[in-house]
A and B are shown apart, each in its own frame.
Chain A
Amino acid sequence: MNIAVTGINFIRQAEVAARLRQILPAEAVLHAEEDTRSYECDGLSAYRQLPMVVALPSNEEEVRQVLAACHELKAPVVARGAGTGLSGGALPMGDGVLLSLAKMRRILALDPVERTARVQPGVTNLAISDAAAPFGLFYAPDPSSQIACSIGGNVAENSGGVHCLKYGLTLHNVLRVRAITIEGEVVEFGSEALDSPGLDTLALMIGSEGMLAVATEITVKLLPRPETARVILASFDDVEKAGNAVADVIAAGVVPSGLEMMDRPAARAVEEFVHAGYDLEAAALLLCEADGTPEEVEEGIAGMTEVLRRAGATAIRVSSSEAERQKFWAGRKAAFPAVGRISPDYYCMDGTIPRKKLGEILKFIAAMEKKYGLRCPNVFHAGDGNLHPLILFDANDPGELERTERFAGEVLEKCVEVGGTITGEHGVGVEKINQMCVQFAPAEIERFQGVKRAFDPEGLLNPGKNIPTLHRCAEFGRTRVKAGQLPHPELPRF
């Protein structure tokens, strides 16, 4: 299912490109296929589409004018940061403008006393922490792609990371987003104070997948870097026991700074790749970290070790140096590329479930492996109940991608069934748009569409992503049915 439509209307393309060249220098407006090809997909490479035109503004005023021009021309706009997104949120449109924010990568201000940084959207996640490091500060959300992913993209997706159990998501660490609406109006969401008057429109902007407005400036909170951190590497002979241990750690009254889980197939793949020293006989491994002052860490590690032992850990190792801590984490952080080495392609899921359902969902995934004849190693942000099962497949094998997508769809629907969600941190994009119909009732989807209209009445920003039309849900045939009543019987179904 490689969706590669090159059908571009060249007359329209010339019209839009010419209009944008009145705003941007010629080299910042791309339309030749050899130039636009590298924008045809984001991290979800199964979906590809050449954009009609690519625009590369280098400042806020250019962004404003590009958006106003697109509004005037009724050309849809897809904003893109570093293109590392995993749900196709930045998939271009053949009749639209791909607005790359990659040139806007300046840190505008960093105030170590106020503990904030004001940055442009194209700045990478890690660059913020690097700039803050000399002051003993850091930007907390740390998605695995942090070397490459941009803060603008993090805002669009409400990105998390391995430490969000303690430090929160992008939502908890961004104070203010300055953005431009499709009509070319500058709006400030949030402020550099801790709160703002009116409705919490900042919360709406974060995680809105580029559907509401385009961020041009972001103020983030910086936190004091913990003095020290240590991590426990615990082995379990049974995956369900490991799952229960996660709940026990949380219930014991300590919030670890990271609590991750890996099953044996995932551990084996990463061990071969990074040699982290993982126990390959264990059915599951837990990484459980405490950070803070040396006293806090000692107290935390002792408490968690005791809980893990009681929960049936077969082996426990505690990092004894910073180098060893990094080594233990290196495996987890390299899980995706490691899996990439053992299979031609893999498909990453992102469902989140109540922690207590971990055992149940793991059994379900094992059953799906049999049903679809595909392997699926598992890595989890276990502390948050956020799953990243990785289905291994070969896109060159006819039918495997379709089977993979059906496999993934079933798992996501199971996540909803046990009280969870189809996406914890990667976003809906184009990838999970059908499953939105399973998670939300028609009236809820209508309200989402209303939220979009409040910002973008003509639906020109990233149309077709994130929120399905009810028509699409009816077609998908999985409209959520409450209490046996078919919602919206007036809608056409076929």
Chain B
Amino acid sequence: MILSDAMDAVLEKLSETVRAASRSKRALRLRGGGTKDFYGNALEGEVLDTRGYSGIVTYEPSELVITARCGTRLAATESAMRERGQMLAFEPPHFGEGATLGGMVAAGLSGPRRQAAGALRDFVLGVKIMDGRGDVLSFGGQVMKNVAGYDVSRLMAGSLGTLGIILDVSLKALPRPAAEATLRLELPEDKAIEQLNRWGGKPLPIGASAWTGGELAVRLSGAAAAVAAAQKQIGGELVEPEQGERFWTGIREQTDPFFRNDAPLWRISVPSTTPPLKLPGEPLIEWGGALRWLCSRADARTVRDAAKRARGHATLFRGGDKSVGVFQPLAPALMKIHKELKREFDPQGVFNRGRMYPEL
């Protein structure tokens, strides 16, 4: 109760700040642990720290749902779930110790396990937000199926704080896999892509994959018997469990040697069957072929054109010259809808101005 009252006071203060900013049309920059400051376009406005609004609100393992406030540390949330044998199955990257749940949802990023489990947005069941008027609104809920009204809670996933402050979020939890094993195989890029897609069409418990420099790592996750059977089918060299875990953490957190590169880092999202993009620079392939990381000094147009030809899109993830726009430009009709949505949720343009697109 005391905590809840204290949180009400924090909420009141947040609302006052937002209302004041809205009156004077001042920009606010929403920030939790600041671990994803690098991501997106301009950082504009006075910092509004969301970490004061924190804590797990409810966690009921048998309901497979966790609800927590935006300032809650991601690490603390995951360890509470681990204690009950559960996890955030989209395996979100932290990018630093201070990562918060609000920042995680706003960034909308998923890690290696996304290949099989689905993306962050697939696990969002409900949100409470504060819009640009300072109003507190709830959408979705804590149940698995809910089609009442438009799916505003998933609209918040990956919105980069442009529509409102994600005050709390309800996420679907899943049991941790009973068994995991990491295999390593030597394969050239084109063969690795082909093989990953061939496996993708079979009922194999492949939970993650990463290819770089002629080496493909595959993580099997599932029932012990299924993992053992798939291991035989896939072959390759079995990696020690601890080493395997370190490897996948390195991929997720971008601490793997691949990411130690001075060149700008591009994130290219394409259909999984896309052949090697043959762009200048070093690639790393995840998600069964559907995610291509590229450390490259190639100009933005070259990278974006290649992504577009492959029916995908490219994001300038880290480094480089942001003046080209971090995210692939939207078609005019879709941009028009984006602008209207922004106007609806944040009429004075208070939140994270320009972080996603200069027009928002």
- Which of A's residues lie within 8 Å of B, judged by CB? 111-116, 135-137, 157-158, 160, 164-165, 168-169, 171-172, 181, 185-189, 191-201, 203-204, 206-208, 212, 224-227, 247-248, 250-251, 253-255, 292-293, 295-296, 298-300, 352-356, 381, 384-386, 419-428, 432, 436, 439-441, 443-445, 447-448, 450-455, 466-467
Contact = CB atoms under 8 A, between A and B. Distances in A.
Contact of A114 (B271, B330, B333): B271
Interface stretch (B18-26, B73-81, B219-227, B236-244): B219-227
Contact of A204 (B60, B148, B151, B287): B151
B154 A200 contact: yes
Contacts of B145: 160, 164, 169, 352, 381, 384-386, 421, 424-425
Interface of B: 60-65, 85, 108, 114, 118-119, 121-122, 131, 135, 137-139, 141-152, 154-155, 157-159, 162-163, 174-176, 178, 197-198, 200-205, 222-226, 228-230, 269-273, 287, 290-291, 311-313, 315, 327-331, 333-335, 337-338, 340-341, 343-345, 356-357
A440 B315 CA distance: 36
21 contacts: A158-B147, A169-B145, A191-B311, A191-B312, A192-B312, A193-B312, A198-B330, A198-B357, A200-B121, A204-B151, A204-B154, A206-B151, A207-B151, A212-B150, A247-B62, A353-B143, A421-B146, A440-B148, A441-B137, A451-B152, A454-B340
Contacts of A248: 62
Contacts, number: 267
Contacts of A440: 138, 148-149
B147 A384 contact: no
A427 B147 contact: yes
A253 to B, nearest CB: 4
A436 B340 contact: no
Q: Among B152, B229, B334, find the residue whose CB has the most chain A CB atoms closer than 10 A.
A: B334
A93 B205 CA distance: 49
Given A193-B269, A197-B328, A453-B340, A292 B142 contact: no
B228 to A, nearest CB: 7
B243 to A, nearest CB: 26
A193 B198 CA distance: 17
Contact of B223 (A227, A300, A452): A300
Contacts of B334: 187-189, 198, 201
Contacts of A114: 197, 271-273
Contacts of A255: 174-175
Contacts of B176: 253
Given A204-B150, A421-B141, A447-B137, 17 more contacts: A113-B201, A191-B311, A192-B311, A193-B269, A193-B270, A200-B108, A207-B150, A224-B202, A250-B63, A296-B225, A299-B225, A353-B143, A428-B147, A439-B149, A443-B137, A451-B150, A454-B337
Given A187-B337, A199-B341, A443-B135, A194 B269 contact: yes
B164 to A, nearest CB: 10
Nearest to B329: A197
A467 B198 CA distance: 44
Contacts of B148: 421-423, 428, 432, 436, 439-440
A350 to B, nearest CB: 9
A454 B228 CA distance: 51
B226 A451 contact: no
A187 B331 contact: yes
A436 B149 contact: yes
A307 B146 CA distance: 28
Given A225-B203, A299-B225, A428 B154 contact: no
A381 B144 CA distance: 11
A353 B65 CA distance: 12
Contacts of A419: 141-143
A164 B203 CA distance: 17
Contacts of A112: 201
